[in-house]
Structure 1
Amino acid sequence: MTDSSSEPVISERAQHFLKVLIERYIRDGQPVGSRTLAKDAGLDLSPATIRNVMADLEDLGFVASPHTSAGRIPTVSGYRMFVDSLLSLKPLDKTVMRQLQHQFDIQNAPAALVDSASRLLSSLTHLAGVVMVPKHNQVRVKQIEFVPLSEAKVLTVIVTSAGEVYNRIIETSRVFSRSELEQLSNYITKHYGGQDLEDIRRLVLRDMQETKSNLDALMVQALEVASAAFAKEDADGKSRGDFVVAGQTNLMDFDELAQMDSLRSLFDAFTEKQEILHLLDRSLEADGVQIFIGEESGYKTLKDCSVITAPYEVDSEVVGVLGVIGPTRIAYDRVIPIVDITARILGSALASR
């Protein structure tokens, strides 16, 4: 995303025309001519004056003239100016708010809540809705249990604050009885419960190094078992991310995305997931709603798209990101509040479990 402080300064009149032009283009998807602009702007100005203002905006890179039309369309810089400085958000009406609140049944499993969020985003915005599956590393652990299996294998059951249950089979240095494993479970839950996985890994390793000589044999075993149970999931030290998506076919309704090559690239991106996951990961590290317009995403596949994201939290910790993907002429004033509120309600529903 660009730094708004580096944008050129334009007059209030030019800003007004840019705002009116973008709102008209978002609504119709057609280049906006001077006559249409004069009518929509509600200002008593000569056609020559309007053409001069449009020429100035074009020179500054905020609008462009497609070679097939005398009208203008917004550029990425124009959209950025519009979003950062000219946009007035529309409050959600009561019908949409009720629909959002009723769709999230806190009795549902977290996976079902995430799926509901993606479908709801898609249906309310008529765009593609994407929701990152909560990252295990960033979800607080509520309880840990160890269940004996055959020989020196133990099933680790991790219950998170979001209500998810993760299972993992580990191998131990010796065979543990059921009662010993219960003691290990109680010890680890007591000492490390309420922390996220990343913190638990760090604390366990620290305790193993600093206090091993002062612990009895069973507690040493507890730390060793915990170390295996909470080991990194990937060779590169990062847990695998994932997201669910709904409404990809909505993108076929927009002429600027409906070309077969563009659609194929977009659908491939949804299937392969890596580029979109990287974009969602970037949003994890930022505060509040993030908007990537066209080339700002850094990915060629999304050069004709805008992505609007918002993080969702459980127990005041960001555990994932959700958002929508559509053409650059997204109705930003309506879509941004939907994305923001959906993130808040999803986080609340996960926490309530």
Structure 2
Amino acid sequence: MTQSRRMLVLRAVVEDYIRSQEPVGSTTLTKDHDLGVSSATVRNDMAALEDEGYLIQPHTSAGRIPTEKGYRYFVDRLATVVPMSEAQRRGINSFLSGSVNLQDTLQRAARLLAQITGQVAVVAAPSLAKSTLRHIEIVPVSINTLLAVVITDTGRVAQHMLNVSELPDTTVLSHLVNEINAQCASVSLTRTADYVRQMSSRKEYRSISKLAETLAQAFDGMADDERASELYMAGTSRLAHQRTVADLAPLFDALEEQVVLMKLMSSLSETTQSNGVGVAIGSETHTPGLLHASVVTSGYGRTSATVDDTTKGETAEEQGREASDRTITAQDSSEPIAFVGSIGPTHMDYEATMAAVRAVARYLTAFVAHDENQTNS
């Protein structure tokens, strides 16, 4: 009983510190929380929590603040992410539905998440390595150059210039493109490259075998493409109002290391908790510049058809919760194609941040699925 009450005390300390960012004392806890015990008992519990590494006392005679271990216990006990309100969800839909394409949606999503949380928002474009082919077109642009336009299942458009000694026969080229579209739709770019390579050895494509091999190499290159420039970030200017100058330099350095950020957040989004959101606190990020920060992230994309229900159900609380459960199940059964996340101080409002990250991830999942369905219909 003492241990469970002690953890209630820990939760109260974390909640109060997140709200006030001031060390929390036993008197304040007793007054603001219905703990059912005296201030002296709460003081003893806080001392025990300090001994166990959950709290720390920054100054003698001051209250206590949570440690990484304290925040981790708190986050792990957030078994369910509280759904955003109906008004908040409508606001997300309204803000993001005005976008004109995937890139615009991702930029808007980053700005919106930064605005909701007051923290740095990071949204990754769908990885070409995890995309499948939807359609390819090859068009001549000069006497020695062809342009391959590849559209993926996530709506990304990749362009690749193909250099040739002379323009190929249009009938043979058209046959090649039609066969790729027929045989490789919904196939990964790597497997598409293998198929095109096999086509280059067939007699009907002998006259354009070099072109087919060049195209296969282009598909391989797209599949390996993990450019950090495909990260959309917003909210960095807000950091100056939350952090000391000493903290800012390493944090900005960490944010500039976009390849490191992508690896961290991509990995975190694929090893999420049961609520579909992953959280790394301080040293758990294994990134020196994020030692005093926390990262909250969720994967989005490629789930079942129930994703569309998420958006449709946003107008009713019950439907929203049901859609949330269905989306999490779908995400658990399918690897995400990209991630959305928030970076803020370790004393961030974890509940609100996790809810916002998950809500935006769910919208992006629905957007990608809807875009694909629209194209296929």
Under TM normalisation by the shorter chain, which class is it? 0.7 to 0.9
| Residue matched to 1:268 | 253
CA displacement at 1:271 relative to structure 2: 3.0
The answer to whether the 8 Å contact 2:162/2:215 transfers is no
Distance change >3 Å, CA 86–CA 243, structure 1 → 2: closer
Following superposition, the deviation at residue 69 of structure 1 comes to 5.0
CA contact (8 A) 2:117 2:353 kept: yes
Per the alignment, residue 331 of structure 1 pairs with 349
Contact 2:294–2:346 (CA under 8 A) maintained in structure 1:
yes
Structure 1 pair 120–351 and aligned structure 2 pair: CA distance change class (3 A): same
Structure 1 counterpart of 2:235, one-letter code = G
Give, in whole Å, the separation in 2 of the partners of 1:226 and 1:245: 33
Which of these residues, 74, 81, 84, is aligned with residue 82 of structure 1? 74
Of residues 316, 320, 324, the one that matches 2:338 is 320
* Contact persistence 1:291–1:306 (CA under 8 A): yes
Q: Which residue of 2 aligns with 1:285?
A: 270
Q: CA deviation at 1:268?
A: 2.8
Q: C-alpha separation between the residues in 2 aligned to 1:17 and 1:74? A: 11
Q: Quick check: 1:100 aligned with 2:82? A: no
Letter of the structure 2 residue corresponding to residue 308 of structure 1: V
2:294 is the counterpart of 1:306: yes
Decide whether aligned partners of structure 1 residues 107 and 54 sit closer, same or farther in structure 2, where only a CA change above 3 A counts.
closer
Deviations 1:181-237 (A, max 9, x none): 2221111111112223233235445x46xx946876368667524313312259xx5
1:3 alignment counterpart:
none
- Partners of 2:141 and 2:172 in 1: how far apart? 13
Instruction: Please say if residues 99 and 105 of structure 2, whose CA atoms lie closer than 8 Å, have aligned partners that are also in contact.
Output: no
Letter of the aligned partner of 1:261 in structure 2? A
1:249 aligns with 2:247: no
**Equivalents in 1 of 2:68, 2:219: separation in Å?**
44
Q: Over the residues paired in the alignment, what is the CA RMSD in angstroms?
A: 2.6
Q: Percent of aligned pairs with the same residue?
A: 32
Partner of 1:188: 180
- SS of the aligned residue for 1:67 comes to coil
Q: 1:87 to 1:249 in 2, by over 3 A?
A: farther
SS in 2 for 1:163: coil
Q: Kindly indicate whether residue 258 of structure 2 is the aligned counterpart of residue 240 of structure 1.
A: no
Output the TM-score relative to the length of structure 2.
0.81
Deviations 1:168-187 (A, max 9, x none): 11234764133332221111
Matches within 5 A, 1:153-168: 153-168=145-160
Deviations for 1:126-153, whole angstroms, at most 9, x for unmatched residues? 1111101221222222111111243443
- Compared CA separation, residues 233 and 313, structure 1 to 2 (3 A): closer
Contact 2:253 2:289 in 1 (8 A): no
Q: Displacement of 1:238 after TM fit?
A: 5.0
SS at match of 1:231: helix
> SS at 2:137's partner residue?
strand
CA 1:284 to 1:204, structure 2 compared with 1: closer, same or farther past 3 Å?
A: farther
The corresponding residue for 1:348 is 366
Cα deviation for residue 16 of structure 1 reads: 0.6
Which amino acid is 2:238 matched to?
N
Determine which structure has greater relative contact order: mean sequence separation of CA pairs < 8 Å that are 6+ residues apart, divided by chain length: 1
Amino acid at match of 2:216: S
Q: Equivalent of 1:231, from 220, 229, 233?
A: 220
Q: Helix, strand or coil: the match of 1:55? A: helix
The whole-number CA distance in structure 2 between the counterparts of 1:219 and 1:133 is 34
Which residue does 1:217 correspond to in 2?
Answer: 206
Matching residue of 1:139 = 131
In the alignment, the residues of structure 2 paired with residue 250 and residue 230 of structure 1 have an alpha-carbon distance, to the nearest angstrom, of 40
Q: Is the 8 A contact 1:31 1:69 kept in 2?
A: no
Per the alignment, in what secondary structure is the counterpart of residue 275 of structure 1? Answer: helix
Q: Which residue pairs with 2:244 in the alignment? A: 259
Equivalent AA in structure 2 for residue 128 of structure 1:
V
